Amino acid sequence: MGRFTFTMIKPDAFAKGHTGAILSRIQEAGFRIAALKLTRLSPEKAAAFYAVHRERPFYESLVQFMSSGPVVAAILEKDNAVEDFRKLIGATDPAKAEANTIRKLYAESVERNAIHGSDSDENARIECDFFFSALERF
């Protein structure tokens, strides 16, 4: 199990001013911030980031949403980071997410669901490299 995962506060949660509260919950859950930036995905970058979903019916809408405004990208460090972070954010659909998870608290819908978390160590590595150079990691 790796020590790192990648997360992104999505445009819905950033626009509503939830960044501070979400970063607090992440740190209180024992994750260390190893890299952090406010940025905006172009439609091309959003399409590449979610390319695994390109055959799904929600893909075009997802790409449009993810490029609609700024996102907060971060690398997080903790033992068992990927699995523990997925637990902290909750199910993809906030209606199915457990109480007190970040998505239960802040997501609007299955698409506008506030936050991303890597789903494997391999994808965490790929996603960290997608957003951050070596000089941007601490």
Provide the token pair at 10: 């999505």
Rounded to whole angstroms, the Cα distance separating 118 from 131 reads 13
Placement of tokens 């997360």 in the chain: 7
Question: What is the closest distance, in whole angstroms, from the C-beta atom of residue 31 to Mg ion in the complex?
Answer: 18
Given 116, 117, 124, 127, which residue is catalytic? Answer: 116
Between residues 53 and 138, which has the closer beta carbon with respect to ligand ATP? Answer: 53
Between residues 34 and 90, which has the closer beta carbon with respect to ligand ATP? Answer: 90
Q: State the residues that interact with ligand ATP by CB under 6 A.
A: 53, 58, 62, 92, 110-111, 113, 116-117, 119
Based on the number of CB atoms within 10 Å of its own CB, is 42 exposed (0-12), middle (13-18) or buried (19 or more)? Answer: exposed
Q: Site mask, Mg ion, residues 118-137, x = CB under 5 A?
A: -x------------------
Between residues 52 and 138, which has the closer beta carbon with respect to ligand ATP? Answer: 52
Provide the token pair at 64: 């449009």
Return the number of other C-beta atoms located less than 10 Å from residue 29's C-beta. 14
- In eight-state DSSP terms, residue 94 is G
Q: Which does 58 bind (CB under 5 to 8 A by kind): ligand ATP, Mg ion, none?
A: ligand ATP
Tell me the one-letter amino acid at 130. Answer: F
- Is residue 53 annotated as part of the catalytic site, yes or no? no
Question: What is the closest distance, in whole angstroms, from the C-beta atom of residue 16 to Mg ion in the complex?
Answer: 22
Total residues contacting Mg ion (rule CB under 5 A)? 1
- In eight-state DSSP terms, residue 53 is G
Three-class DSSP category at 124: helix
The catalytic site residues sit at 116
Residues making contact with Mg ion (CB under 5 A)? 119
